[in-house]
Amino acid sequence: MTGSSTYLDYNATAPVRPQVKAAMMAALDLVGNPSSIHAGGRAARAVIEAAREAVAALIMVPAQTIIFTSGGTEANGLAIESAVAAGSRRLIIGATEHDCVLETALASGAAVEIWPVDANGVADLAWLGERLARWDRADGRPFAALMLANNETGVIQPTGEAADLLRTYEGWLHVDAVQAAGKIIVDGRGCGADTLALSAHKLGGPQGTGALTFGPRAVLSRRLHGGGQERGRRAGTENLPGIAGFGAAASAAMTDMAQIKMQAAWRDEAAAYLKTEAGIQIVGEGATRLPNTLCLAKTGFSADLQVMALDLAGIMVSTGAACSSGKVRPSPVLTAMGLEPLAGSALRVSGGWDTTQLDWTRFAQVWLEANQRHQSRRPASAA
């Protein structure tokens, strides 16, 4: 709940947490470049290192493996571009990856292959095994990108199993954990990632701050050149307030994981109600999903009309990936799942740290009323 409105678009961005605002205000009061060795610089450096420890704790990795970036897009790009610089000439990209992963891969100069998914949006491990068995060593080290949880459907991917297959061929697995972190327990090494990307604003932190963590099998190359910040891996004066906010968001996310987990029951109750009353289809229902995410579709009720009707009632949701808003094209995620006919009517509802059961209940009631009004206006032959 946000004021008198119901905000259910956390997968686009989460409201900033009170702890984050406090941490950022405190950081703004500091005067000193974190690279300076005087007292002001040392105070700023201490804030950054405390945040690094907090972010590392959230995903259970050593703090020295955290590189702060401008967001999840840069973190994903740093991993992909590093792999290409290290000699990977062919990249395997999951069919439901975020656009920033696919577009970076396509722009890298390497060949790109799309890794298919099943009808629930789960990556086809048999396909990966067969493809790796035919790998041409002239293509360099195998590299694959597989997000931990999908931003549109919430479907959780088998990254550990994928990593096992890749390591048989000395491959590199990159995991985009932007949507997963703070919503489920993320073990940065246990999930098999050689590199893993995060973003602060999905956790209730500030926009414009992210991180990449790397394991011992990753070979990173600096893509932003200049000073020696981030242990020489990412040049540029650090975003002190943003990083401080990221650390505060990571710490808060660890404490309210149980509340996020409870949302699965609230979401499922709302979904069951709408299935019974309106016959909606739930995308990815047969797979394990994030507890906060519901992707539903109702044939004949366009996603744009659904969003507008809900918005007029004070409920904020999305038609899919927020960064794809305004693009007149079917969701690549649903298309990859073989659900292109539903793509134009798919709605994404996502809760977070400040969401209540009442928010989910209100959403379901208002959506049903909007659907009933819409259906009453349609010709009988179109119903």
Report residue 146 CA to chain centroid gap: 11
Instruction: Give the pLDDT score at 323.
Output: 53
Residues 6+ apart with CB under 8 A from 372: none
Which residue intervals of the chain bear CATH 3.90.1150.10?
Answer: 6-15+257-382
Phi-psi sector, 135: left (phi>0), alpha (psi -120 to 50), beta: beta
Query: What b/e sequence results for 24-52 when a residue is b if at least 16 CB atoms lie within 10 Å of its CB, and e otherwise?
Result: beebeebebbbeeeeeebebbbebbbbbb
Ranges of residues in the chain with a pLDDT under 50 are 325, 328, 383
pTM of the model: 0.95
Per-residue pLDDT reduced to its tens digit, 314-331? 999 999 655 554 554 678
Q: Which of 100, 191, 295, 323 is catalytic?
A: 323
- What's the confidence (pLDDT) of residue 163? 98
Supply the pLDDT for residue 322: 52
Q: How many CB atoms lie within 10 A of CB 85?
A: 14
Residue ranges, CATH 3.40.640.10, the chain: 18-254
| Amino acid found at 351 | G
Q: What is the pLDDT of residue 328?
A: 45
Under DSSP, is residue 303 helix (H, G, I), strand (E, B) or coil? helix
What integer pLDDT is reported at residue 228 of this predicted model? 87
Q: Where are the alpha helices (DSSP H) in 32-71?
A: 39-59
Buried b (16+ CB within 10 A) or exposed e, 274-306: beeebebbbbbbebebbbbbbbbbbeebbbeeb
**Which tokens hold the place of 128?**
């990966």
The answer to whether residues 16 and 205 touch, using CB atoms and an 8 Å cutoff, is: yes
CA dist 313 and 9 (Å) reads 15
Query: Has 191 been annotated as catalytic?
Result: no
pLDDT at 135: 98
The pLDDT of residue 1 is 56
Q: Kindly write down the DSSP assignment for every residue of 26-41, as one continuous string.
A: HHHT--S-TT--SHHH
Q: Radius of gyration over alpha carbons of the chain, in Å?
A: 21
Which residues share a beta bridge with 172?
143
| Alpha helix (H) residue ranges in 136-239 | 159-168
| Alpha helices, DSSP H, located in the chain | 18-28, 39-59, 72-85, 99-107, 125-133, 159-168, 240-255, 257-278, 303-312, 332-336, 340-343, 357-377
Find out if CATH 3.90.1150.10 is the number for domain 6-15+257-382: yes
Residue 364 tokens, joined: 């379901």
Topology (CATH) of 18-254: Aspartate Aminotransferase; domain 2 (3.40.640)
| H-helix or E-strand spanning residue 294 | strand 293-297
pLDDT digits (tens, 9 = 90+) for 11-50: 999 999 999 999 999 999 999 999 999 999 999 999 999 9
CA 357-246-173 angle, 5° bins = 90
